[in-house]
A and B are shown apart, each in its own frame.
Chain A
């Protein structure tokens, strides 16, 4: 089995002389029971096709070689044969039934997301993922961390080029985790090949899927549904940990979230807000409004020297908190916390020559969100 794949590989890669391992040219077996089942189905149907192909093409090339006009072949005149025709209709039906049985069993299993021990909400957004551990008060955004300089080629590309994020989804192994999946804007699709989970995230819908990971490790995937300009830059990274390690991680995240919530009530200075705001801006806003706030009209308006933005702080806050209906600008009221919103608004009101001198306090933002 492996040797045939290897042989195909040699043909297809001989031009480049590259060293490759199995996962670089075949579906991964993965690290869940489902992914292994799917791999088994994939290889079974593949070999069924190979055998049928050998028989059919064998008969074809035999005929082409044996009955050449140039060798004086005389054509026969037969043109139907009922029993043969019935036979080659019936045999494929039987083969297909043989394939359908295990496929049905696997599919039923994939659809059984009952008795999950942990629920994670996955929200697609142009162009990042948001993960929310339901009932745990832990939520964060996961953005691609590959720098633009690597994409343009100004810097050497790293090992995990385009498949690395600032904050991966952290999951425990050996526990059934249910995913609830939706989207804030267009349709995205969350895929990690090693987990054999691919599910569209659709605005207005909540899809379910689940995973029970057998081995700790870091598993990488990508968005697989065209979702706009940065569709290619929306990786998924899952960090699967031993259960105790995961509990420790979760406790730490809870603590940090509580601390952040306390920060809403205190008075913040311009500098600390602007500093925090810059990192939020680069992670969240710059993919549309660009690194220097220059935007890319008409879809994504410029923020630098935007007169309406400069003159009207309430309008500015409203757009960030509630989004722009019918346009690409999403509502950040639930994606970013009040500190982050206050920080990024303060930053954009004072960067790139906007220089309004405005400072927006997290407490004001919290009040607006509560309204």
Chain B
């Protein structure tokens, strides 16, 4: 495929003008807060996304710690069930929509233009708008906690009619905030697709792109496909709550199960939206520190595309106990099991990349290796959950909680942390303090397993999700999980400390900060100047 560069406009805003080599044409950026409110630079917007995401990671984490503190021992000690339900709901919503998704978008903003040799994102002003919708959306969402009747208390999956006819008055604000977050995601996705398809360096074919770019391209298509479904379903809720319709109200002829079909049509691809870019990050880091090209590049791309395609065909495996017909149960069981095949291909490829490499264990590599092991454990429990008859026992227990936390915390979040440690030299010009990063890694891996591994047992023994108090036989598992959660939460302060120290100083990094790193971002200086690739680089095909 021949590279397509965007037409060079003569009169345009500053960020595209740099392609003409007229760097002197940049007006001085506004000072203070205006600089950040008005910025159209992909690096600055990327940083904003990442800072926002990290902040929300702690907000969502504090909610999780409220939950874990209440579950520390049987009985109700600290909070009442009303507030407990708001905490579980808010924890899920914040972590999914305000921590994990914006973190990946932030990494995409920073790294995609650098990895494809583009001067910026294709639509810089849209980029600014996409970001600034988020603080508005989540300030609104968090403010519902202070409203009469409290915030959303129906779980992050907000099943109707609990979230409609039986919901607190603040639900309308919850709907508005999700709409705003959804618009932000769609605009971000459009921008990423436009950038990748139009702005690659001359000579870079699609099959030359780094896997982080590939996985994000596919993720962006998923976002465009499913965020409108989320928008539709919350609009139907809005109508049921405020305008007397009965989409989901059985008494008015509506169908509560329709809600779940629509929600999971969005929700299952959403799960892959949160993991595909993680695959991309790990596929960059493992070859770098094994000093050996990624094994099976093409099969990685095909496997990613296969997972994305299958993600549209498995939604009702979240609904095995709603009373679907037998034939539907079988269909969704088989398609779900099938996802294990391309996912397995990825894991095998990573392991084979390590085989006969020359491996070193810097902090990005540690997180990436932990990702491979612990994500695979989450994949195993996912395979168990796919067995529909067994799911009648697993469904809505802590076994499910253990499963999705394994794929999201040591899965998505460890990959994000690996990416941050990997690219911090590019962003700041300094290596992160390796010793601190190693402590962060070992504390995190102990904390994450102590928190989530016992949940498998609690679930198998019969503990349902989303309960503020539990029978006495679950006490030991919950005690361990709560200790682990506080340990994990506290050790994340090391992450923040490491980032702050790295921004302020540290060992200077050369352009190619890691010995085995090959992609285009390592050809620009560390730290990357505000404007890069003002002249498109010439892309030399490596070993893909």
Give A residues with C-beta under 8 Å from B.
Answer: 8-9, 12-13, 15-16, 18, 20, 23-28, 34, 37-38, 41-42, 45-46, 49, 52-53, 56-57, 59-60, 63-64, 67-70, 73-81, 84-85, 88-89, 92-93, 96, 99-100, 103-104, 106-108, 110-111, 150-153, 157, 159-163, 181, 185-187, 189, 191, 193, 196-200, 202-205, 207-208, 221-233, 296, 298-299, 325-328
Q: How far, in angstroms, from A208 to B372 measured CA to CA in the complex?
A: 41
Interfacial chain A residues near B148, Cβ < 8 Å: 298
Knowing A16-B479, A67-B358, A326-B165 are in contact, say whether A110-B392 is a contact too (CB < 8 A). Answer: yes
Bound CA–CA A199/B395 (angstroms): 10
CB contact between A60 and one of B85, B373, B377 (< 8 Å): that residue: B373
CB contact list, B225-248 vs A, under 8 A: none
Q: Given the complex of chains A and B, what is the CA–CA distance between A46 and B2 in angstroms?
A: 48
A300 to nearest B CB, angstroms? 10
Residues on B with C-beta less than 8 A from A64 are 354, 359, 369
In the assembled complex, B82 has its CB within 8 A of some CB on chain A: yes
| Bound Cα distance A14, B143 (Å) | 42
Partner of A76, one of B250, B254, B292, B334: B292
- The reply to whether A75 and B169 form a contact with Cβ atoms under 8 Å apart is no
Measured in the bound complex, the distance between the Cα atoms of B344 and A155 in whole Å is 52
Per the bound structure, the CA–CA distance linking A185 and B257 in Å amounts to 14
Q: CA of A106 to CA of B153 in the docked complex: distance in angstroms?
A: 36
CB neighbours of B369 from chain A (8 A): 60, 64
In the complex, the chain B residue whose C-beta lies closest to that of A20 is B476
Instruction: Say yes or no for B140: interface residue by CB 8 A criterion.
Output: no
* Chain B residues with CB below 8 A from A110, complex form: 389, 392
How extensive is the interface on chain B, given as a class?
35 or more
In the complex, chain A residues whose CB is within 8 Å of the CB of B298: 80
The segment out of B9-17, B276-284, B335-343 that lies at the interface is B335-343
A96-B340, A189-B396 known; A41 and B76 CB under 8 Å?
no
Q: Kindly report which residue of chain A lies nearest to residue B472, judged by CB atoms.
A: A161
CB-CB < 8 A to B389: which residues of A? 34, 37-38, 41, 103, 106-107, 110
Closest to B341 in A: A92
Q: Give the CA-CA distance A198 to B394 in the complex, in Å.
A: 9
Interchain CB contact under 8 A, B356 and A76:
yes
A205 & B257 in contact (Cβ 8 Å cutoff): yes
The residue in B76, B464, B472 that gathers the most chain A C-beta atoms within 10 A of its C-beta is B464
Would you call A12 and B169 a contact (CB within 8 A)? no
Establish whether residues B76 and A151, one from each chain, have CB atoms under 8 Å apart when the complex forms: yes
B344 touches A198 (CB 8 A): no
| Alpha-carbon distance A34/B397, docked complex (angstroms) | 19
From B75, B82, B359, B469, give the contact of A73 (CB < 8 A): B359
A89 with B75: CB separation less than 8 A: no
Once bound together, how far apart are the Cα atoms of A346 and B376, in whole Å? 61
Partner of A196, one of B165, B355, B393, B469: B393
Report the Cα distance A298→B359, complex, angstroms: 61
**Are the CB atoms of B462 and A221 closer together than 8 Å?**
yes
Q: Which residue of B lies closest to A60 (CB)?
A: B351
Q: Which residues of B contact A13 (CB under 8 A)?
A: 476, 480
Most chain A beta-carbon contacts within 10 A, residue among B354, B355, B389, B397: B389
Contact at A46–B384, with CB atoms within 8 Å? yes
B residues contacting A by CB (< 8 A) are 74-77, 81-82, 85, 148-149, 153-155, 159, 161-162, 165-166, 168-169, 250-251, 254-257, 290-299, 321-323, 326, 329-330, 333-334, 337-338, 340-341, 344-345, 347-348, 351-352, 354-360, 369, 372-373, 376-377, 380, 383-384, 387-390, 392-393, 395-397, 453-454, 457, 460-462, 464-473, 476-477, 479-480, 483, 543-544
19 further A-B pairs in the complex, CB-CB below 8 A; given A198-B395, A204-B255? A20-B473, A23-B461, A25-B460, A42-B387, A56-B351, A60-B369, A64-B369, A67-B290, A67-B359, A92-B340, A104-B330, A107-B333, A111-B326, A151-B469, A157-B74, A187-B162, A205-B257, A327-B166, A328-B166
Q: Give 3 closest A-B pairs by Cβ, nearest first.
A: A204-B250, A232-B467, A207-B323
Nearest B residue to A204, CB-CB: B250
- Hey, which chain B residues are within 8 Å of A53, CB to CB? 376-377, 380
B327 to chain A, nearest CB (A): 10
Residue from B380, B471, B480 in contact with A163 in the complex, judged by beta carbons closer than 8 Å: B471
CA distance A299 to B347 in the complex (A): 49
A79 to B462 Cα, complex, angstroms: 46
A298: B residues at CB distance < 8 A: 148-149, 168-169
Q: Residues of A contacting B295 with CB < 8 Å?
A: 78-81
Q: State in angstroms the CA–CA spacing of A189 and B298 once bound together.
A: 45
Task: Report the nearest B residue to A194, measured CB to CB.
Answer: B462
Q: Give the shortest distance, in Å, between B361 (CB) and chain A (any CB).
A: 8
Min CB distance B357 to A, Å, is 5
Q: Is the CB of B322 within 8 A of A12?
A: no
With a CB–CB cut-off of 8 A, which chain A residues contact B341? 89, 92-93, 96
